[in-house]
Amino acid sequence: MKVKNFSDIKAFFLENVSIKQTIFKNTFWLATGTGISKFLKLALIIYVARILGATEYGKFTFALAFISLFLIFSDLGLSNIIIREFSREKEKEKEFYSVLSLKILLSLGALFLILIGSFFITSDPAIQSLIWILALFCLVEGFLTLIYSFFQARQRMEYQAWVTILESLVVTGCGFFVILNYPSVKNLSYAYLFSSLVALIFVLFFFHFKIFSLKITWQKLIWRKFLSMSWPLALAGLFSTLYTYTDSVMMGYWKMITETGWYNAAYRIIALTFIPLGFVTASFYPMMSKFFKESKEKLQKTWNYQMETVILLAVPSVIGGIILAPRIVGFVYGQDFTPAILALQILMVMAGLVFLCTPFSYLLIASNQQRNFFKITSSAALLNIVLNLILIPKFNLYGAATATIITYLLILFLFFRFTMKFTLVQPINLKLLFTFIVAFLSSVPMYFVLLQPQIYNLNIFLSVLIGVLIYFTSLFICKNVIKPVYEKI
């Protein structure tokens, strides 16, 4: 698409014209919305950790981790099924009315389970009240996620970006007001709940009057139809939740509240590296769902493009993160969180594995392989629970981080095997291997530059910026020097 005037610019960023333009538009808006949201919320949570300390922060993250174990029951995989089904056939959108009513019932059921479970996981009344407040916040967020799925099915990620930015502005403003004037994790939880309610009210009005007239219908046949497609994803989501949050819940249950704070402080930093991964995979998923039914060649091409992007992001993120971990933790949290440094370095390896695993997960769902996806996540959850039971008592947060790495190694192996056997895509080829080699070679100069004391001891933002510039400069040179070889592959 050629851009010549303002109308063309508007169309480029707000309309779906071609495959590449649509992917770029969706990625741009997801990057904008997610980037601003993550940055603002990270700034808030860093300040919270500094003001309240590792123990109080540990209570907050423990409550969220426990709640997360039950959130799958409020969704049961419906969000991913909506994206897949609605992106293939627009006339199915009328079934959204019944999906919405099903979501309400599921959320009420999940809330009941969380309230009952809170009395068994802790005897601390303060943590129990945190769980109740944050449970309402997370369930409200679940309705936002459901509507985001509708936007993604239509490939209108700009709407999602606007709502995400609105919510992040409200939660950050409320959060800073509370933590400066009435500092406590309980008051912070109320701020989170209030902001999510504001965002939900706004998006419901916007959705109803601008996108799709809202109403609720109670059609059990539609419920049964969607649940028959989503139950493998629901179980897979349950098991993926187990291997994601079991470590924090176990540490909290074993009274390692401060260690939970250190561990989740490291995880918060890791979450920053997942920002580009999230909007890249979200932009490609509707395309893969569509091409699964239309064209094997386009599906393979889309897969290759996605994996090349993921590899080029993953390799420098892992190497740079391990090098700069001491500087990042010191700058972000201060000396009280020094034990989080080694956990962060271990988890950076996990982050690289997550980068590689995520495209496989979306591909399996797009290829109607929910049941095989469930088999992978159930195996991973079982392994992770066993490893956590063995490693956490001996090595606390470092044992939890190590268990996570081993778990994702198993996941990557199983994803590769199932993709080869059950999908139309060849997951690895010479071009992707070449991309990995180029990414690694381009990271070598970055590695040695960041190790230099005059660079390493700069302000952390400058160090990161220099690392990024060195990497992409090396990448440009590397690709052009060996371009003839690359083009022959």
What pLDDT does 241 receive?
76
Res. 322: pLDDT tops 90: yes
pTM over cut 0.75: no
* pLDDT grade for 489, boundaries at 50, 70 and 90: low
**Which two structure tokens, joined as six digits, stand for 335?**
């000396």
Highest mean pLDDT among 94-98, 428-432, 462-466: 462-466
Radius of gyration of the chain (CA): 22
Query: How far is it, in rounded angstroms, from Cα 94 to Cα 92?
Result: 5
* Residue in 110, 141, 109, 114 with CA at minimum distance from that of residue 128: 114
What pLDDT does 3 receive?
46
Res. 224: pLDDT tops 50: yes
pLDDT in tens, 102-143: 888 989 999 999 999 999 888 888 889 999 999 999 898 888
Res. 376: pLDDT tops 80: yes
What pLDDT does 23 receive?
67
Give the pLDDT mean for 455-464.
91
Please indicate whether residue 96 or residue 440 has the higher confidence score (pLDDT): 440
What pLDDT does 17 receive?
57
What pLDDT does 483 receive?
61
Res. 7: pLDDT tops 70: no
Res. 449: pLDDT tops 50: yes
* Residue in 51, 49, 56 with CA at minimum distance from that of residue 127: 56
Task: Count other Cβ atoms within 10 Å, centred on residue 316.
Answer: 22
Give the pLDDT mean for 387-391.
94
Res. 187: pLDDT tops 60: yes
Give the pLDDT mean for 224-234.
78
Query: How far is it, in rounded angstroms, from Cα 78 to Cα 106?
Result: 11
* Residue in 152, 290, 280, 288 with CA at minimum distance from that of residue 211: 152
